[in-house]
Structures are given as C-alpha cells and as structure tokens.
Structure 1
Amino acid sequence: MLTDYERKVLRILFNYSSGRRRLPKFHELTVKTGKGKPDVMAALDSLVAAEYIHWEDRSDTAYIVILEGWERDDEKSQLPKSPPTINPNNTDYWTQY
C-alpha cells in the first residue's frame, strides 16, 4: 500500500506523461508536490521497490518507465459484491427512464 505522498507522485508522473508526452523534471516534481528533492527521491525509490515504475538510469526522470499508473487494489480489502436485485415484472426500464 502506498503512502499518500507516493500515490501523489505516481499520479503526477502518469498524468504528466499522458498530457505532455514526457515525464516531469525533478524541479517540476518538487513544485507540484511541494516537497524537496530528497523527499521526491525517497518516493521514487519506494515506487521502484513496489514495482510501480522502472528506473534504471537514475540521473534523470526522463528514464522512468511507468509500469502501473494507479495503486493496486488490495484483494483482501474488497467487499464481496451482492447480486443485483431483479424486478419480476421488469417494467422499471419503461416506467422510470
């Protein structure tokens, strides 16, 4: 499970790359997150460890490869879904919509 800050950095990376077709620079990440470069680096290291991003050449953020843009759903935390209720007359569509 990601911390709020790690989730924020991941979403910034994903949204920035999809909107601008490039990844943000370190300075842009510090401006967008409001934290310093050491905090950004720690969040990026955590994302690498959790396999949300791949980052071999750590000299620049341009070398980041996003593996997953959203936080994974924890299967244990999901509640079982209840089956939909069925109207025996099946007139809801025609009378309510």
Structure 2
Amino acid sequence: MLTDYQRKVLRILYNYKSGRRRMPTVHEITVKTGKGKPDVMASLDGLIKAEYIHWEDKSDTASIVILEGWERDSEKPKVLNTAPSANPNNTDYWTQY
C-alpha cells in the first residue's frame, strides 16, 4: 500500500506528464508537495520498489516511466459501512457528515 505522500507524488507525475507532455523535475515536485528533496527521492524510491514507476537514469526525472498511474484496487483501504441498517434511506450520511 502506498503512503499518502507516495500517492501524491504519483498523481503529480501522472498529471504533469499528461498535461505538460514531460515529467516534472525534482525541484518542481518539491514545490508542488512542500517537502524537501530527500523526501521526494525516498518517495520515488518507494514507487520504484512497489513497481508503479520505472526509473533507470536517476540523474534526470525525464527518464521516469509510469507503469501504473494510480493505486491498485487490491491495495486501497477498505471502507466500512457504518450506517445503521434500520435506516434504509441512508439519510445519516447526509445529515451527520
């Protein structure tokens, strides 16, 4: 399962590539996330180990290849249904949140 920060970096890579037709630099990722270079590099390493990206030439982010653009369904946290079964209209969702 990806951490929140890894998921954020993955989405930045994906959106940047689709919108600007290039990968963001490490500096651009630090600006977008508000974290430092060591955090960005650790996140990118985590994405490599989890096989979400492939990155051979670590001197330039332009060589990053996105293998999967979002978290796998099998790794997403499960959402528990906590609504009471006595309320078939499920209005608690709209009135209590």
Same fold (TM over 0.5): yes
Q: Identity over the aligned pairs, expressed in percent? A: 78
Unpaired segments ≥5 residues, structure 1 = 80-97
The corresponding residue for 2:3 is 3
Higher-Rg structure is 1
The 1:73/1:19 distance shift into structure 2, 3 A limit, reads same
Matches within 5 A, 1:1-97: 1-74=1-74
Alignment size in residue pairs: 79
Change (3 A) 1:67 1:76: closer
TM-score, with length taken from structure 2: 0.77
Separation in 2, partners of 1:76, 1:32: 24
Distance 1:76 1:45 in 2: 20
Shift of 1:35: 0.2
What is the alpha-carbon root mean square deviation over aligned residues? 1.8
| Cα deviation digits, residues 8-64 of structure 1 (max 9, x gap) | 000000000000000001110000000000000000000000000000010011110
Gaps of 5+ in 2: 80-97
Structure 1 partner of 2:87: none
Q: Distance in 2 between matches of 1:49 and 1:78?
A: 23
Task: Report runs of 4+ in structure 1 exceeding 3 Å deviation.
Answer: 75-79
